[in-house]
Amino acid sequence: MLTVENLRKSYQVGKTSYEVLKGVSLQVDKGEFVAVMGPSGSGKTTLLNCISCYIPADSGSIRLGKTELARLNGDALAEVRNKQLGFVFQDFLLLDGLTVRQNILLPAIIGGIVSDMTEQRADQLCEVFGIAAIRDKYPAEISGGEKQRTAVARALINHPLLILADEPTGNLDSKSTRAVIRSFEQAKSALEATIFMVTHDSYAASFCDRVVILRDGVVWRTLEKGNTEREAFQDELLDAIREMGRSDN
Amino acid sequence: MRHFSEVYALMRRKNKQQYALLAGCCFFSVLLITAYVCMMRAPTILNVLPEGGDSRKQIMMIFALAVLGCAVFTTYASGLFFRQKSRETGVFLALGASRSQVRRELYRELGVISLGSCAAGAALGGPLAWVLWQVFRLCVVDTEEMRLVFNPAAYVWSLAFSAFVIVMMFLLGSRSVKRTNIIDIVQESHTSEPIREVPRWYGPVGIGLLALGGFLGYMSSFFFIGILHWYPPEGLTGVFYIPALMGLYMILLHTVVNGWNGKKKLYKDLIATSQMRFQGRQTVRNMLVMTLLIAGAYFGSFYTPMLGTGSMIEYDTRPVDYVYNFRADQDIPLEEEVRALAEEYGVTVTDFAAVPMIRLAVDGDNHIEEEGPMGTTWRAEYEEVMSTELFLSASGYEALTGERVDLAPGELRGVVDVEGSKLGFAPDKSLVTNYLTGEQIPVTSLEPLRYDSLFGRYVMNDADFAALGAGLSEEWRETQVCFNVENCEETYDFAKALFNEIVDRSTMDVAQFSGWDPVIRDRYLAEEGVYFLDRENCAEYGFTVIDYAQRDSSAFRMSWQYMPAFRILDRTDFVKTMAVFLILFVFVAVVCFSAVFVIAYTRCMTIALTNRKVYDDLRHLGASNAYLRRSVRGQVKRVFLVPALAGTSLIYAFYVMIMYFNGSPAGITPSEAAGLLADLAVVAAVSALIYGVYRLTLARVCQALGLERSGRLPGGSALPE
């Protein structure tokens, strides 16, 4: 589904060049729910932004299905973003002037593919994520958790191959966090969605099938959940993070 | 909702305030420029403002300021619009909209906004100018000369400015979509616009540069023309004003970033100061535009009181009520007829004196212009017979003024005004010639006499007068008449009747522009075959054609060579005669101040829009409404106060400098001092108006932020959940 190979990215600040990604390689299979964790500055968000094609990588390869994203031009990338990727942002990025339902439909409207069926799907997504009752409300009138569930539904409206989520629970309280994570699980189980999530939150990451831990721009460790209980997997994650902290000292 | 354009329409409805602000700014700018240019290019105005004259240059200069101000203002408003719009553009791009898709919708919107607002502004600019002009005519003064005629060609300027607005909006719009990094666009509205650390020496050095630039700019043309004998290309002297502009920018930057209080009030002003810093360059740019517009507006406003005060003082200090002169070949009323006419109007004439004058050639430096690789230069070449002047005998002067003047043969005294100003007059001559007979007398020029009503005349020994006058024909002889009347204030009708009589009885031979000179004429005819001040050539060379039918027009009264100086007539008709000038400058001031108010208001409302979140956060931290109001006041006050203070003091100092240097010798004359005092009264009145608009704006900003005195919390703002 998603294959990242030897990805490198550096930023130029004045005359100094900072290499943020130093050869990251990873793979996400269809139907997988994968999280990327790591301390600040480890390159998580840069990795996500490169995969989203928001910023160009210096070298390496990003393949979505059989498409090499780095080779696409602006219009083709827009097409990929619209049809094959779904996005969930920490700040939700809902448009204040549109209702919940209109926000969910937005990627379909941009893609020019709104039909009765699309509208039915939007309603169905509202049902699945428990936001049917607020579908005619505006973002200013709903809670943070509801906003993020709206964003998840929006990410799924065009049947994307992959959902990219950037700190989706970063701005939420624990109750809303649980609701959003539940919506990802529902997306995965009911809609067979593939999810790639960047997070700081070990609780959110503990719901994933696999967690990739980045450190200083490289993959430091990958933890598989397998049949482990969620709580035990969270402990495993916390141990790994503690171990990383110790080795830093 | 199934189409992208419908999403755009919804967003438009949601953000209609932003759209209205942008459209309003474009509309207002084009309206202002159109109204100004309609007025500036109207034949009514051009007929009165002499080509190449200072008044026309001033109007053009203020127009340039207004264009600059409006250009910066609309660019700022557009930048603000796209900045606010960047978030939704970023969301569209992030969700897979192509740039061309977004650009298509944006262009459609921009097309409607820019074309609509520019067209409305251009369409209403002319009528606005017309209505304002008619209001002035109705409320202030109305003369035949003030009948407003527009020149449709003025719309070329309006179209050019509209084209700028439209192109600028599309370029900025295209740039905002073209940004390659979506992350930047998504986060753009959250990023601040910091300004670099500003050293504290910016303030004092800025003041120094401002003073230096003002001085250099004003004096550079004197230097080039007077010292280097070189006519600099148009615009070069403007370059010398650049340090003043830099200085002004540095002062404003220092004021916004550092303030002038040092660290004394650091914590008291913390929020207002840091919020102003957050707005960064845009604030300073806006303040600069406002400062320049205020300076321009005052420059226009000062003209009327300066001219009015100066003229009124001049009329009042004239030593004689009635003064006129005429050529000997003209049949103009003399004592008997004047007394008869006076009797008709119940006026008692006193102190009547009519003495002969002769027109003699004098020596002087002829400025010969030469074209070279550096452009036009000039050199002075002494000519024994340079031009002509009017001469009185010592006894004639005594008869007119009552002042005895003892002059030996060969001695000469010019007459300057009572303040000693010699502007436009060089009383030092060394050779006097009878142009017809060639008789010459070398003369010694003594200290000038001071007598307002005979400014520009020369007085010589009686014997010299007789000798040099011998052989002169009637065209070279004149009569100077001076008389007083009892109760001068009540003799307007008589003055008007005598004036009409003089004009009616003057032949076309003396329908000459005031600078007409027979010696210069002969030289021009010999060298170039044409004399620019001959009546038939005046129109072609941009000079007023003297038309006796237009005797009440300002052009006639300011330009006729034999225009009488009747105190009561001049004083009573002053407003009528100068109406076009006065109203034009008042119009310019009204337009510029309106622009200042709109810019300041918009800027302050932007503070309310962009800082709403900050004020909510401060409220969460426990700030009282009074505290928040004080912080808002700190910002709004700076937006108004700094440009008002800078613009006012800048232009007032500049005006004082002009008044100081424009006389000969340099200095402030009592009438100029009175004019400057009258200008101070204008400053006080306008400052009160600015204060009123400031209070109004402050109230609106507080209202928008929910900071009314009642302490009511805002209806729409985000409050703790």
Per-residue pLDDT tens over the stretch B516-534: 999 999 999 998 899 999 9
Q: Could you say which of A74, A80, A105 has the minimum Cβ distance to residue B99?
A: A74
Looking at the structure, tell me whether residues B126 and B42 fall in a common domain. Answer: yes
Nearest-Cα distance to chain A for B714, in Å, is 15
Q: Which residues of B touch A85 (CB under 8 A)?
A: 96
Looking at the structure, tell me whether residues B393 and B408 fall in a common domain. Answer: yes
pLDDT at residue B575 greater than cutoff 90: no
Q: Give the domain-ending residue among B485, B501, B522.
A: B485
Question: Using DSSP, how many helices (H) and how many strands (E) does chain A show?
Answer: 8, 10
pLDDT at residue B410 greater than cutoff 70: yes
B→A interface, C-beta within 8 Å: 1-4, 6-7, 10-11, 13-15, 87-88, 90-101, 181-183, 186
How many CB pairs lie under 8 A apart between chains A and B?
A: 81
Q: Which residues of A touch B3 (CB under 8 A)?
A: 109, 112, 114
Q: B95 and A102: CB-CB below 8 Å?
A: no
- Tell me how far apart the alpha carbons of residues B196 and B193 are, in angstroms, rounded to a whole number: 10
In this structure, is residue B334 part of a structural domain? no
The pLDDT assigned to B711 comes to 45
Looking at the structure, tell me whether residues B271 and B135 fall in a common domain. Answer: no
Interface test with A, best of B84, B92, B95, B103 (most A CBs within 10 A): B95
Q: What is the mean pLDDT of chain A?
A: 89
Model confidence pLDDT, tens digit, residues B258-271? 777 665 555 555 55
For residues B582 and B224, the model is more confident at B224
Q: Give the domain-ending residue among B444, B466, B485.
A: B485
Nearest-Cα distance to chain A for B285, in Å, is 27
For chain B, give percent helix, strand, coil, nearest 5: 65, 10, 25
Phi, psi of B472 (to 5 degrees): -80, 140
- Tell me how far apart the alpha carbons of residues B500 and B494 are, in angstroms, rounded to a whole number: 10
**CB-CB contact of A195 with A33 (8 Å):** yes
Phi, psi of B455 (to 5 degrees): -55, 130
- A142 → chain B, closest CA residue: B721
Nearest-Cα distance to chain A for B647, in Å, is 39
Q: B3 and A75: CB-CB below 8 Å?
A: no
Minimum mean pLDDT among A59-73, B353-367, B707-721: which range? B707-721
Q: Could you say which of A74, A75, A93 has the minimum Cβ distance to residue B91?
A: A93
DSSP state of B190: T
Nearest-Cα distance to chain A for B667, in Å, is 56
- Between CA A226 and CA A231, with CA A228 as vertex, the angle to 5 degrees is 135
Q: Which residues of A touch B13 (CB under 8 A)?
A: 97
A→B interface, C-beta within 8 Å: 49, 52, 54-55, 74-75, 78-83, 85, 87, 89, 93, 95-98, 102, 105-107, 109-112, 114, 154, 158
Share of chain B above pLDDT 90, in %: 36
Q: Could you say which of B3, B7, B98 has the minimum Cβ distance to residue A75?
A: B98
- Tell me how far apart the alpha carbons of residues B515 and B300 are, in angstroms, rounded to a whole number: 28
A59, β-bridge pairs: A8
In this structure, is residue B541 part of a structural domain? no
Q: B10 and A98: CB-CB below 8 Å?
A: yes
pLDDT at residue B196 greater than cutoff 80: no
pLDDT at residue B149 greater than cutoff 60: yes
Q: A81 and B2: CB-CB below 8 Å?
A: no
Return the residue matching tokens 């009383």.
B427
B478, β-bridge pairs: B327, B357
Could you tell me which residues come within 8 angstroms of residue B163 by beta carbon, excluding any fewer than 6 positions away? Answer: none
> Could you tell me the pTM of the whole model?
0.72
The pLDDT assigned to B253 comes to 83
Split into its structural domains, chain B has a count of 4
The pLDDT assigned to B719 comes to 33
Q: B97 and A82: CB-CB below 8 Å?
A: yes
Share of chain B above pLDDT 70, in %: 89
Q: Which residues of B touch A102 (CB under 8 A)?
A: 1, 7, 10
- Tell me how far apart the alpha carbons of residues B502 and B332 are, in angstroms, rounded to a whole number: 6
Top-ranked range on mean pLDDT: pick from B352-356, B364-368, B420-424, B702-706: B352-356
Nearest-Cα distance to chain A for B11, in Å, is 5
Mean pLDDT over B350-375 rounds to: 89
The tokens for B425 are: 């007059």
- B10 → chain A, closest CA residue: A97
Mean pLDDT over B611-622 rounds to: 75
Q: Could you say which of B15, B92, B100 has the minimum Cβ distance to residue A97?
A: B15
The tokens for B32 are: 């202002």
- Tell me how far apart the alpha carbons of residues B202 and B198 are, in angstroms, rounded to a whole number: 7
For residues B458 and B589, the model is more confident at B458
Looking at the structure, tell me whether residues B285 and B172 fall in a common domain. Answer: no
- A92 → chain B, closest CA residue: B91
Looking at the structure, tell me whether residues B35 and B182 fall in a common domain. Answer: yes
Model confidence pLDDT, tens digit, residues B631-673? 888 888 888 888 999 899 888 988 888 888 876 677 788 888 8
Model confidence pLDDT, tens digit, residues A176-206? 888 888 888 988 888 788 999 999 899 999 9
Q: A79 and B96: CB-CB below 8 Å?
A: yes
Mean pLDDT over A123-136 rounds to: 91
Q: A78 and B11: CB-CB below 8 Å?
A: no
End-to-end CA distance of chain A: 37
- Between CA B29 and CA B36, with CA B34 as vertex, the angle to 5 degrees is 95
Could you tell me which residues come within 8 angstroms of residue A141 by beta carbon, excluding any fewer than 6 positions away? Answer: A134
Looking at the structure, tell me whether residues B17 and B126 fall in a common domain. Answer: yes
Q: Could you say which of A49, A102, A109 has the minimum Cβ distance to residue B183?
A: A49
- A111 → chain B, closest CA residue: B97
In this structure, is residue B537 part of a structural domain? no
The pLDDT assigned to B143 comes to 67
Mean pLDDT over B693-716 rounds to: 73
Mean pLDDT over A78-103 rounds to: 88
CATH code of A230's domain: 3.40.50.300
Nearest-Cα distance to chain B for A108, in Å, is 8
Nearest-Cα distance to chain B for A245, in Å, is 30
pLDDT band at B307 (very low <50, low <70, confident <90, very high): confident
Minimum mean pLDDT among B45-54, B459-468, B473-482, B600-609: which range? B45-54
In this structure, is residue B502 part of a structural domain? no
The tokens for B592 are: 């510029």
Looking at the structure, tell me whether residues B32 and B159 fall in a common domain. Answer: yes
Q: Which residues of B touch A173 (CB under 8 A)?
A: none
In this structure, is residue B563 part of a structural domain? no
- Tell me how far apart the alpha carbons of residues B393 and B123 are, in angstroms, rounded to a whole number: 63
Q: B6 and A109: CB-CB below 8 Å?
A: yes
In this structure, is residue B292 part of a structural domain? yes
Calculate Rg over the CA atoms of chain A: 18
Top-ranked range on mean pLDDT: pick from A43-52, B502-511, B620-629: B502-511
The tokens for B241 are: 């004003």
Q: List the domain range (segments joined by +) for residue B649.
A: 263-318+572-721
Model confidence pLDDT, tens digit, residues B77-92? 888 888 878 888 888 8
A24, β-bridge pairs: A7
Q: Which residues of B touch A80 (CB under 8 A)?
A: 96
**CB-CB contact of B484 with B320 (8 Å):** yes
Mean pLDDT over B451-459 rounds to: 92
- Tell me how far apart the alpha carbons of residues B267 and B120 are, in angstroms, rounded to a whole number: 47
CA distances from A108 to A77, A114, A138, B92, B97 (A): 16, 6, 19, 11, 10
Neighbours of A65 (CB within 10 A): 13
Helix runs in B345-442, H state only? 394-401
The pLDDT assigned to B252 comes to 85
Structural element, H or E, at residue B666: none
The pLDDT assigned to B267 comes to 57
The pLDDT assigned to B683 comes to 93
**CB-CB contact of B65 with B292 (8 Å):** yes
Q: A75 and B1: CB-CB below 8 Å?
A: no
**CB-CB contact of B302 with B656 (8 Å):** no
List of E strands, B373-434:
375-393, 411-416, 431-433
Q: B93 and A79: CB-CB below 8 Å?
A: no
End-to-end CA distance of chain B: 31
The pLDDT assigned to A172 comes to 80
**CB-CB contact of B423 with B662 (8 Å):** yes
Mean pLDDT over A17-22 rounds to: 91
DSSP state of B83: H
**CB-CB contact of B433 with B389 (8 Å):** no
Alpha-carbon dihedral angle through residues A91, A97, A102, A108, given to the nearest 10 degrees: -70
Q: List the domain range (segments joined by +) for residue A154.
A: 2-248
pLDDT band at B192 (very low <50, low <70, confident <90, very high): very low
Q: Give the domain-ending residue among B454, B485, B516.
A: B485
In this structure, is residue B438 part of a structural domain? yes
In this structure, is residue B521 part of a structural domain? no
Interface test with B, best of A47, A75, A81, A150 (most B CBs within 10 A): A81
Looking at the structure, tell me whether residues B271 and B187 fall in a common domain. Answer: no
**CB-CB contact of B479 with B338 (8 Å):** no
Looking at the structure, tell me whether residues B53 and B179 fall in a common domain. Answer: yes
CA distances from B577 to B48, B557, B691 (A): 10, 8, 34
B322, β-bridge pairs: B483, B566
pLDDT at residue B713 greater than cutoff 50: no
**CB-CB contact of A157 with A122 (8 Å):** yes
Looking at the structure, tell me whether residues B378 and B276 fall in a common domain. Answer: no
The pLDDT assigned to A187 comes to 83
The pLDDT assigned to A222 comes to 94
Minimum mean pLDDT among A219-223, B231-235, B715-719: which range? B715-719
**CB-CB contact of B555 with B544 (8 Å):** yes
Looking at the structure, tell me whether residues B585 and B603 fall in a common domain. Answer: yes
pLDDT at residue B115 greater than cutoff 60: yes
Q: A109 and B93: CB-CB below 8 Å?
A: no
Looking at the structure, tell me whether residues B453 and B399 fall in a common domain. Answer: yes
Split into its structural domains, chain A has a count of 1
